[in-house]
Amino acid sequence: MPALTAFGRRWSVGTDDFVFPGLLEIFVRVVWLIAISIVYNYHGSTVWDCNGGGFLKGYYIGLLLLLCICIVLSAVIVFISMKGSITNVGPREKLVLFLYIKIAISVPELIWNILGTYWSFSESKECQRSVVWTARGAVISGWILAVIVIIGVIVVFDPLGKQSRKDCNTTRLQSDPTAQVTDSAMVASRKAWEKRLRFLCCCLICDDQSKDAFKDISKLLTEFFKGPYLVPTDVAAGLILVQNLQESLVGGAQYDKSYATFSPNTHEAISSSSSGLACQNGRPKSNSRPTEPQPWMTMDLITHYMKFALGSYGWPLYVFDNLLTGVCRLCGACRCFACMKASPNIIHDNCCMCNTAAIRKYTELPTEDIEYVNYHNEVYEIPFYIAIDRKYQAVVVSVRGTLSFKDVLTDMTADCDTIEMSSCDRDSKVHKGMLQAAEYIKSKLEENDRLQFAFQKAQGSRLVITGHSLGAGTAALLSILLKPDYPDLICFAFSPPGGLLSYNASVHCKEYVCSVVLGKDIIPRLGLTSMEDLKFKVYRAIRDTNLPKYRILAGGVWQLICGCFDDNSGLSNRMLNGENLIHDSRSMVIRERLEESIQESILKMQQFKDGNTQLYPPGQVLHIQEVDRERRCFETPSYYAEWKEVDEFGTILVGPDMFSDHLPNNVFDALDQLSKKNFTPRKYRTSQNREAITDV
């Protein structure tokens, strides 16, 4: 940090990002050098007497010389890139000079590779085979390396990185740290984000809804990424530092060893493993009272309706969940050429009805109990299906989660909208995109009286709405919309988004909405406030560390691969050690910019709280966690569960599981394990360590 500036523009790479690519290049070129040297020295002078042998010998000599030069240059670049810390850029000031030299060397290297291609494939066919094929291997490797370099340049290219002549003169290596974000820059950034979204949507029909979504999302992304320019590896290093600090402060006290042996049917209180922002604006603090679930919120019922949520994803999830046998299992349930005689109750399924077949496989329902399936998918219009559950006497509406780019646009339309709720004092704020999706599904349910027709076939049934991820948020809002017409309605929201609805609305739907969150799942913790909080923590961690970036990233990869969560002292103990920090004037300015951004994030979080725009997951929340976090790799985890308040999910917990815990098959596996062991979730919790992790 900040970004490298070369050739008059800023690039999405830092001067401390050349360690691992450089080491990899050195390794490849050394192997290459050894192989060429062995072949060259092994054969006598007579081997070059063939037709074209002189050209081939010249190629070998030139290649050896170029390899030696490139290895030395790469070693120097790696050595310089290892110096300093993320904010201490002074020791790396000369790096750009060696990058220019290396780029200059790549020109004769490219020319030599072109000549080598001609000599080895055309002029030296009569030479000894081992010599020719070694040269051809070197040529092919050279072209592969060139393609990799081109791809790397495309990846680190910043479309907003054009620097003015004045900026180029004032700073050759780094982007000007004193530059302020102007209104014109904000407009350019917003347009760039909109172009990126349109590029991702190049194969889709961009209707008016998509265009509106592009504008809303680009505005949100521009506002969020405003501040000091961090390259992606800066963010990755900051997240690793935040994770280590969280683990070191609360890890030991968080997970009591007395739970190393799984204990079902226990009601003892344990320390909360996730926390959030304390209740604000007069809301009661949730850690002062027990959380009482409704009688119908049982593990068996929750697990049962998770199957319906899985079914909504159709054949892609079923095949992913059964990699070896999924296709064969589905083939027996599919109807080939069903599109030639399509059912009016199955909309936009494929020709073999694979999605409907996956619904039957997950739910184990007969075909006649699947009343209506709609896989039509546009922005704010997401797939769902209606089924009759005769086991628990229910009509089920299952809403699909995110499975397409259009679903992502719905997810990211995160502005607040208003929803009217009968028993609330004031209008409640909800996620705009998911509210529009819920209104779309409501209109489809009312169209042709589809729900009433299902209830006629299942007299005495209650309405159950379920979904996962985007489907969970939409299902919860759909429940609010349908509650006046179906008083006994209940909803199961699996891994719902955190920025879904305001606190009063979440409390209002506790009686009929049950949410399920697994482990460190980031989605139920994701909202504008929590994102700003995470950005603040990343900025602070980057500011305070004196570790070089390559050591931080190497430590994070080591933890990810080996699961070494028991000893983070090497990273966390040095994070706040500033005694050895030696910064030049440029580095001090960078740290001042970081400090300004930290204060801006604090101000934004306070504005979110004061403006009462914080959004939460819906209803009663069941939090499933691992019993023993120090398990071995590939060992099946054991779980316990505890009822939590929605305000405990206001802080993003960083870790390798923050994304995998959101996968629907992982959520089902955890629920299935608890259900089979007759586990009764704990009704009480303590507030120990809440403030500690919130302040991390």
The pLDDT, as a whole number, for residue 578 is: 45
Total Cβ atoms within 10 A of residue 28:
16
Q: Which of 161-170, 545-554, 674-683 has the lowest mean pLDDT?
A: 161-170
Tell me the three state secondary structure of residue 398. strand
Tell me the three state secondary structure of residue 9. strand
Residue 186 vs residues 182, 189, 226, 227, 350: alpha-carbon distances, Å: 6, 5, 8, 11, 43
The pLDDT, as a whole number, for residue 247 is: 79
- pLDDT exceeds cutoff 90 at 228: no
The pLDDT, as a whole number, for residue 495 is: 96
pLDDT band at 552 (very low <50, low <70, confident <90, very high): very high
CA–CA separation, 466 vs 384, rounded Å? 10
Report whether 588 contacts 88 (CB < 8 A).
Answer: no
Stretch 580-585: mean pLDDT: 58
Please choose, from the candidates 62, 57, 59, 29, the residue with its C-alpha nearest in 3D space to the C-alpha of residue 43. 57
Strands (E), 394-542: 394-399, 416-419, 428-431, 462-468, 490-494, 513-518
The pLDDT, as a whole number, for residue 177 is: 42
- pLDDT exceeds cutoff 70 at 76: yes
The pLDDT, as a whole number, for residue 419 is: 85
pLDDT band at 602 (very low <50, low <70, confident <90, very high): confident
pLDDT band at 685 (very low <50, low <70, confident <90, very high): low
Tell me the three state secondary structure of residue 464. strand
Q: What percent of the chain has pLDDT over 90?
A: 39
pLDDT band at 514 (very low <50, low <70, confident <90, very high): very high
Residues with catalytic roles: 469, 521
Predicted confidence (pLDDT) per residue in 488-502, tens digit: 999 999 999 998 998
- pLDDT exceeds cutoff 70 at 259: no
* Maximum average pLDDT range among 173-187, 457-471, 571-585: 457-471
pLDDT band at 274 (very low <50, low <70, confident <90, very high): very low
Stretch 649-653: mean pLDDT: 89
686 by Cβ neighbours in 10 Å (0-12 / 13-18 / 19+) ranks as: exposed
More confident residue, 631 or 379: 379
CA–CA separation, 188 vs 201, rounded Å? 20
Stretch 525-538: mean pLDDT: 86
* Maximum average pLDDT range among 156-170, 247-261, 319-333: 319-333
Structure tokens given for 216? 């809303």
- pLDDT exceeds cutoff 50 at 285: no
CA–CA separation, 269 vs 263, rounded Å? 13
More confident residue, 695 or 4: 4
- pLDDT exceeds cutoff 80 at 679: yes
323 by Cβ neighbours in 10 Å (0-12 / 13-18 / 19+) ranks as: exposed
Please choose, from the candidates 501, 500, 432, the residue with its C-alpha nearest in 3D space to the C-alpha of residue 469. 500
The pLDDT, as a whole number, for residue 165 is: 44
The pLDDT, as a whole number, for residue 425 is: 56
Tell me the three state secondary structure of residue 71. helix
Q: Which of 29-43, 545-559, 625-639 has the lowest mean pLDDT?
A: 625-639
The pLDDT, as a whole number, for residue 382 is: 95
Please choose, from the candidates 398, 552, 410, the residue with its C-alpha nearest in 3D space to the C-alpha of residue 475. 398
The pLDDT, as a whole number, for residue 428 is: 82
**How high does pLDDT run on average in the chain?**
80
- pLDDT exceeds cutoff 50 at 635: yes
More confident residue, 691 or 86: 86
Predicted confidence (pLDDT) per residue in 440-469, tens digit: 999 999 988 899 999 999 888 999 999 999
